[in-house]
Chain A
Amino acid sequence: MENTEYDVIIVGSGIAGCVMAKTLTQAGKKVLLLEAGLSAGINLDKNGNFYNYVDYLNTYYKANAKVPNSPYPNIKDAPSPNVLDIQATPSVDKGYYVQEGELPFASDFLRGPGGTTLHWLGSTPRMLPNDFQMKTNYNVAVDWPITYNELVPYYEMAELEIGVAGDASVQPNANEYTKGYEFPMKKIPQSYLDQKFMALVDKVNKGEHPVQIDKKKVTIGLTSTPQGRNAVPNEKYPYIDVMWNAEQQKLVMTKHMYWSGKDRAFKELDKKEKYQYLPVGAVWDPNTGQRCEGNASCVPICPVQAKYNALKSLAKADESKLTIKTQSVASKVLHNGEKTQITGVVYKTYAFGDDAIEYKEVIATAKIYVLAANAIENAKILLASEAANSSKQVGCNLMDHLCLLTWGLLPEKGYPFRGPGSTTNISSFRDTDTRKDHSAWICPVDNWGWGWPKFSPGSDVQDAVKEKKFGKELRNHLSDVLPRQLLLHYECEQLPNKDNRVSIKDEYRDALGNHRPVIKYNVSDYEIKAFAAAKAINDQLFKAAGIKDFTKYGEKDENGKFKNPDIVTPPRSKEIYNFWGAGHIVGTHRMGKDADKSVVDKNLCTWDHNNLYLVGCGNMPTLGTSNPTLTMLALTFKAAEAILKKI
């Protein structure tokens, strides 16, 4: 047992954990942050940090398959899932997940300092007001215990923290933003490919063969995507920091106060100084990464850290109040039964390097405990602790966006493989009446060719060489085909289902003796219907726009196995569909207004233990059609405020 008494112990240094640590320490609270991954990744010394990051980058260059986790170490004592390990179920012997469901769960996350924000794409659309009331509006799933309007102040904090670049005025439901609201930075320029595609869509919308649903014309609407990467600062943006106001007992966005790292205090801005938002650069050098430089590798790594990652927030914490312990894997929270307080957190440490194996088990104590370890890890810790589960909902309702990918060749060159992963999305199907019958979707236009489904451009070269192309013929072929590649992905909303779940079994453990997640996963008719509806729209659009369709589902490898095992076939569906994971892992410890149907209340405090808070995407009762990180961070600010009120 450690002697130090902390105000708060946070498990996990991803975005939720780091922003929690920053907010609480700046408010004067003493925090212990436990991180399962390697110490090198959290090096707050600038040189050490830089060299570690360069090592990630070189690992990425050298990786044969440049998948989301390819730059980062996979530790046997705190393993991460890898998309390369996904195979048809049942699957117990490959990778971190034990998959016992009908279909494999195909999304990964990263256990290590900075968490999955190291490889996230950075898209930050808000959820739409109706997304919070699916039961009331569409008679499916559940309502959230809070409304969109209640979350708006926290959305604004999250957009400041991440540093969102975007045009608020063109977003769906822009009228539901605070009047005159602007993002911290101007929108990231939409790609040349987007412009070509938008022109084609515009022609289809206005032409003789517009896209139809049930013989009724539909207009396909596109929007620039707000995103957490550095762009031109918006001179109209007024906010500087998020600060705990003890008098008002709430978090406020400051216009005149700023956090001074040197003084470890909020200071008044010099009256003569005109404030302008300043992009947050790389952790090792504030002048690096002031703008997105077009590396086109946001997933898995932004070489200049122009894309937000959680370590940027951690760097702003009050170091004098913060203790960070790395290579410290939380395995359990301690309690004396239902409806009692949490009395400690058990974590195991491991040494790394020179094959030294040295494990230690430690108990740390605090007034408040916060699990910020990711939706799957939080559920695992709670299940192993037999904590917070009087509702029996822990681990249930695992959700993801089901990505139906479609790909084709544009009639003219759009020059993909350039710029951020996506800068524009089809937004007009995010909230329509059809949500009674099937999933809504958002459809990002991808800037990186057919890389996701086909491993382009490598596969294009390989195929051409197999066809015996060489020399000028090969070069001209690639120069013709690659710049015309178009990829869309229809991200369909998955509904909560108690049978889609994370559980633990004693026979499946990692090197430290912690449980591996056992996953049961499937898709429902509600989602399969959305595949058919989205594909019908896609096919009409491709045809009318002169985009040559190359989409193919159900392809098999040389052993006769489906290349992508996430597949639905007749009779479950009319046609064969493949879908891909979005990396949006959500729902495993949902919030709600009833203690018997949810794990946490609307302040993210567990119903069962009034000093245990959960943060992360596991809290989300439904997913909507937004990338979840922004909403999750808004909830994290809400939780931080509730904790500060309590202590």
Chain B
Amino acid sequence: MEANNKNTKTFLQISVHLTGYDEMDLLGTGMLESYYDVVIHENNLHLVSEFLTTSEKILGDLPNINDKIRQQLIDDVKFNSLTSNIIMMWYMGTWNGNVVSPQSYIQGLVWKAADTHPPGAKQPGYGSWENPPITIHPPVAVKPAAKAETLTTV
């Protein structure tokens, strides 16, 4: 369980740098566990384990991370297709061209990148298309809420 959590975390963190979206965006898709499962089930476990170990090392060198990803994951024949597939999965919700699940289609990052929504879901409402899309800017830090008031019923 512990190891699994650690691996999921590594998968999440390397996915941040592979997709260009931050942790909140990726977690917000609700797809992390499903996608991690797909990676596990669709690949040689030994390869996945090596991929995660390599990723962990790469994540330890944040200043050079893009160079490291390029050299060790993208340009590396061993990891290239796995890495590409992971990027495609986050963006399109597909693994090797097959849609993982109805939700994975809806949660594809490509719609966010194109400033739109997945066709057939998350509809923006009547007439919205007449105007440019509303761009959600990165959240600004907010002070933690004061101690929550206890609701009492009378």
Number of residues in B with C-beta < 8 Å to the partner? Answer: 47
Output the nearest chain A residue to B109 by Cβ-Cβ distance.
A475
Contact B116 A473 (CB under 8 A): no
Contact of A473 among B20, B109, B110, B132 (CB under 8 A): B20
Partner-contacting stretch, out of B2-10, B51-59, B97-105, B137-145:
B97-105
The answer on a CB contact under 8 Å between A57 and B120 is yes
Contacts of B83 in A (CB 8 A): 470
Q: Are B19 and A471 in contact (CB under 8 A)?
A: yes
Task: From A186-194, A324-332, A501-509, give the one contacting chain B.
Answer: A186-194
Bound complex: CA A478 to CA B21 (Å)? 13
Whether A303 is near chain B, meaning CB under 8 Å from some CB there, is yes
The answer to whether B119 touches A415 (Cβ under 8 A) is no
Query: Which of B32-40, B42-50, B121-129 makes up part of the contact surface?
Result: B121-129
Are A461 and B92 in contact, CB atoms less than 8 angstroms apart?
Answer: yes
| Interface residue from B20, B97, B106, B115 paired with A64 (Cβ < 8 Å) | B97
Of all chain B residues, the one with the shortest Cβ separation from A195 is B130
Q: Do B69 and A64 touch across chains, with their CB atoms under 8 A apart?
A: no
**B105 to chain A: closest CB distance in Å?**
5
Contact check, A475 vs B113: say whether CB atoms are below 8 A apart.
Answer: yes
Tell which of A16-24, A289-297, A314-322, A602-610 binds the partner. A289-297
Contact B130 A189 (CB under 8 A): yes
| Chain A interface (Cβ < 8 Å from any Cβ of B) | 57-58, 60-64, 66, 189-192, 195, 231, 291-297, 301, 303-304, 413, 415-420, 423, 447-449, 457-458, 460-462, 465-466, 468, 470-476, 478-479, 482-483
**Beta-carbon contact of B98 and A415 below 8 Å:** no
Name the residue on B nearest A461 (C-beta). Answer: B91
Contact between B110 and A457, CB atoms less than 8 A apart: yes
Q: How far is the CA of A420 from the CA of B121 in the complex (A)?
A: 13
Q: Is the CB of A479 within 8 A of B133?
A: no
Contact residue among A63, A416, A460, A478 (Cβ-Cβ distance under 8 Å from B99): A63
Contact A461 B18 (CB under 8 A): no
Name the B residues within 8 Å of A470 (CB-CB). Answer: 17-20, 69-70, 74, 83, 87
Chain B min CB distance to A479 (Å)? 5
Contact B66 A471 (CB under 8 A): yes
> Are A301 and B120 within 8 A (Cβ)?
yes
Partner of A58, one of B74, B97, B102, B109: B102
A59 to B118, CA, bound (A): 15
B20 and A415 contact, CB distance less than 8 A = no
| Residues of B with C-beta under 8 A to A457 | 110-111, 113-114
Please encode chain B, from 86 to 100, with 1 for each CB lying within 8 Å of some chain A CB and 0 for all others.
011001101001110
CA distance in complex: A43, B124 (Å): 29
- A191 and B69 alpha carbons, distance in the complex (Å): 40
Distance of A476 Cα from B115 Cα, bound (Å): 11
CB pair A418 B121 closer than 8 Å: no
- Whether B123 pairs with A303 at a CB distance below 8 angstroms is yes
Cβ of A224 to closest chain B Cβ, rounded Å: 11
CA distance A483 to B123 in the complex (A): 17
Pairwise interchain contact A61-B105, C-beta atoms closer than 8 A: yes
Cross-interface CB contact of A462 among B88, B103, B126, B131, cutoff 8 Å: B88
Beyond the given A296-B116, A475-B20, A482-B113, could you list 11 further A-B residue pairs with CB under 8 A, ordered by the A residue number? Answer: A61-B99, A61-B102, A64-B97, A191-B129, A231-B126, A295-B119, A296-B123, A417-B114, A465-B87, A479-B113, A479-B114
Q: Does B84 contact A (CB under 8 A)?
A: yes
CB distance from B75 to the nearest CB of A (A): 8
Q: For residue B109, which residues in chain A have a CB less than 8 angstroms away from its CB?
A: 475
A418 and B19 in contact, given A62-B101, A293-B126 (Cβ under 8 angstroms): no
Report the minimum CB–CB distance from B78 to chain A (whole Å). Answer: 15
Q: List B contacts of A304 (CB < 8 A).
A: 123
Q: Are B97 and A419 within 8 A (Cβ)?
A: no
Residue in B74, B92, B109, B129 whose Cβ sees the most chain A Cβ within 10 Å: B129
Is B114 a contact partner of A472 (Cβ separation < 8 A)? Answer: no
